[in-house]
Amino acid sequence: METATQESLISFETHPSQYRHLRLEVEGPIARILIDNHEDGLRPGYQLKLNSYDLGVDIELADAIQRLRFEHPEVGSVLVTSAQEGVFSSGANIFMLGSSAHGFKVNFCKYTNETRLYMEDATEFSGQTYVAGLNGIASGGGYELPMACEEIYLIDDRRSAVALPEVPYLGVLPGTGGLTRLVDKRKVRRDRADVFSTLAEGIKGQRAKEWGLVDDVFPASTFDEKVNERLSELADGGYPNRKGISMDALTPVQEGDTLQYRHVSLTVNERDRVATLSMQVPDALPNIPENASDLGADWFPLRAFREWDDAILRLRFHYPEVGLVLFKTQGALEVVRDMDEQMEAHKEDWFVREVTLFMKRVFKRVDCTARSFFALIEEGSCFAGSLFEFALAADRIYMLEEEGVSVQLTNQNAGTFPMANGLTRLQTRFIGDPAHVETLVKRREMMDTETADDFGLVTVAADEIDWEDEVRLAVEERVSLSPDSLTGMEASLRFAGPETMETKIFGRLSAWQNWIFQRPNAVGEKGAITLYGQPVNPVFDFNRT
């Protein structure tokens, strides 16, 4: 079983002191993320010229966004710009993509999309407005990153342009939400978007502004001054009363087949292609003080969800053949319920809000992960409130019918953690019965297995005699099925209801990109990505499918 390829040995943790590509600068209410990508990438075989990027750059960007939210909550505006003259970013490195396995390419695009969405979430909910200062050419993914910002400003120097050249150059699509943001977010006219997306050299100057591709253009002589003025306006003094925390490293320990964090454990059975992801809740949690940030990075919901998030990313990149993940929890329902009630009571506190928003992000990461998930509710489980969202995110819920085995809903299940479709997981589960959802969200009593089953919260309820065989047979059947069909099936079933920009990015775009990345026109012997950089034109099969 292949689990230790060079591509998979990746750490998703870093620190500004360890950045190789980005620089994070904070001055009072204004922060700047400067792109200055080192030519050496995550692995040998390509160079990150012209500020092109790979997964290593995105890991640093995700870290910077998270640190600004937790360590620098005083910040009100964030500038994303380049430290290299004449170029903002030339996008994802094509030689990296061309030399990567298909699964890595797909997971790279997915991780990048999630990072962009986290940036947009910071603008919408945390008061940290992201601004792109394009002081050079922004091409491909190098323009998709600015589109994730709230505002885009382009230097007017007669050569700097914005472009999405993937279709004419590479025979693929802008893989990190470019086409969707172009029309859904930027509201660019369809015909203009069509021209723009097939114009390899891109569009510059006033035309870029007229078409809505950027918010304004400034001459080189005043570019920095105008952008800084806008940053100050958006920051509006920032949030000087917010006290940030220090985010420490997770440092999990490998113990045989188990990766052990402080509150989370990930056990991988490589032979059976099954993993178990479990969260252990402490016997007691501290009360939230007046200044919630005094709890620091060790506060259970922040620490535990950071660990769960890291484990999910490791599953994606390190264990491509693991097809099924079993979710488990251990602890007292009362502890989780009390934690949720306190978080609800302190939801206006910036720190509690940020932790809640991060939890939302982790649940969404689960939703978009191409693995089957079964939740096992058994003796000692504490699937209550916020942790019950893990069960609702699972494809199936198995619950042991035994005294003391219960679940419980809290206010956190009523809208705190919306999915990409804008609905709660309860609303999505009972898409055809809104009245039933209203009944459930008002119910606060513990529910035993029979009651939970009656309310439709359980897929299979089994007594102690049947439990082991029921779970074993379900697991064996699941891992025997085609992983391709399961990925398509699960992604189609998980997001019932309305479509949003986010569901389009992960549903339409990711599905198309996944398919196109395997086609000979892109990666075949004479495909556009394969021949990129060579003095040879690609040869296309012009049959439409």
pLDDT, residue 187, reads 97
Least confident segment among 3-17, 341-355, 406-420, 457-471: 3-17
Computed from CA positions of residues 406, 412, 415, 417, in that sequence, does the dihedral angle turn out positive or negative? negative
pLDDT, residue 545, reads 73
Q: Tokens 């995105």 correspond to what residue?
A: 58
Clarify whether residues 211 and 286 are in a common domain.
Answer: no
Q: In the structure encoding, which two tokens stand for residue 408, read together?
A: 């419980």
DSSP assignment of 313-363 equals HHHHHH-TT--EEEEEEES-HHHHHHHHHHHHHTTTSHHHHHHHHHHHHHH
Clarify whether residues 439 and 486 are in a common domain.
Answer: yes
Clarify whether residues 263 and 364 are in a common domain.
Answer: yes
What is the total count of domains within the chain? 2
pLDDT interval class at 360 (50, 70, 90):
very high
Give me the residues paired with residue 254 across strands: 259
Least confident segment among 283-297, 457-471, 496-510: 496-510
pLDDT, residue 509, reads 75
Clarify whether residues 39 and 167 are in a common domain.
Answer: yes
Which residues lie closer than 8 Å to 375 by C-beta, 6 or more apart?
Answer: 326, 327, 328, 383, 390, 391, 394, 396, 397, 398
Clarify whether residues 78 and 193 are in a common domain.
Answer: yes
Clarify whether residues 170 and 219 are in a common domain.
Answer: yes
- Amino acid 282 reads P
Domain membership of residue 275 (yes or no) is: yes
pLDDT, residue 517, reads 86
Q: Tokens 């035309």 correspond to what residue?
A: 207
Domain membership of residue 521 (yes or no) is: no
Domain membership of residue 526 (yes or no) is: no
Clarify whether residues 225 and 371 are in a common domain.
Answer: no
Clarify whether residues 402 and 472 are in a common domain.
Answer: yes
For 355-386, b/e burial (b = at least 16 CB within 10 A) is bbbbbbbbbbbbbbbbbbbbbbbbeebbbbbb
- Centre a 10 Å sphere on the Cβ of residue 518 and count the other Cβ atoms it contains: 12
Domain membership of residue 537 (yes or no) is: no
The three-class DSSP label of residue 159 is coil
Question: CATH code at 364?
Answer: 3.90.226.10
Clarify whether residues 199 and 309 are in a common domain.
Answer: no
- Amino acid 126 reads S
Residue 339 has pLDDT above 60, yes or no: yes
Domain membership of residue 106 (yes or no) is: yes
pLDDT, residue 96, reads 93
pLDDT interval class at 508 (50, 70, 90):
confident
Domain membership of residue 447 (yes or no) is: yes
pLDDT, residue 25, reads 98
Clarify whether residues 205 and 312 are in a common domain.
Answer: no
- Looking at the chain, the whole-number percentage of residues with pLDDT higher than 90 is 89
Least confident segment among 43-57, 89-103, 480-494, 505-519: 505-519
pLDDT interval class at 385 (50, 70, 90):
very high
CA angle 17–20–22, rounded 5-degree value: 85
DSSP state of 166: I
The three-class DSSP label of residue 84 is coil
pLDDT, residue 9, reads 74
Q: How far apart, in whole angstroms, are the C-alpha atoms of residue 155 and residue 136?
A: 7
Domain membership of residue 175 (yes or no) is: yes
Q: How many helices (H) and strands (E) does the chain have?
A: 20, 20
Q: How far apart, in whole angstroms, are the C-alpha atoms of residue 406 and residue 379?
A: 9
* Segment 177-201, tens digit of pLDDT: 899 999 999 999 999 999 999 999 9
pLDDT, residue 512, reads 82
CB 14, CB 56: distance < 8 Å: no
Clarify whether residues 469 and 392 are in a common domain.
Answer: yes
Residue 7 has pLDDT above 80, yes or no: no
CA angle 356–349–297, rounded 5-degree value: 60
Instruction: Measure Cα distances from 173 to 42, 152, 197, 439, 518 in Å.
Output: 23, 22, 9, 44, 13
Mean pLDDT of the region 522-535: 91
pLDDT, residue 14, reads 97
Domain membership of residue 543 (yes or no) is: no
Residue from 8, 35, 210 nearest 138 by CA: 35
Q: In the structure encoding, which two tokens stand for residue 241, read together?
A: 């009363």
pLDDT, residue 515, reads 85
pLDDT interval class at 3 (50, 70, 90):
very low
Computed from CA positions of residues 510, 418, 279, 61, in that sequence, does the dihedral angle turn out positive or negative? positive
Residue 4 has pLDDT above 80, yes or no: no
* Segment 319-332, tens digit of pLDDT: 999 999 999 999 99
* Segment 131-169, tens digit of pLDDT: 999 999 999 999 999 999 999 999 999 999 999 999 999
Residue 99 has pLDDT above 50, yes or no: yes
pLDDT interval class at 370 (50, 70, 90):
very high
Range(s) of the domain holding residue 272: 253-492
Q: How far apart, in whole angstroms, are the C-alpha atoms of residue 394 and residue 329?
A: 13
Clarify whether residues 201 and 332 are in a common domain.
Answer: no
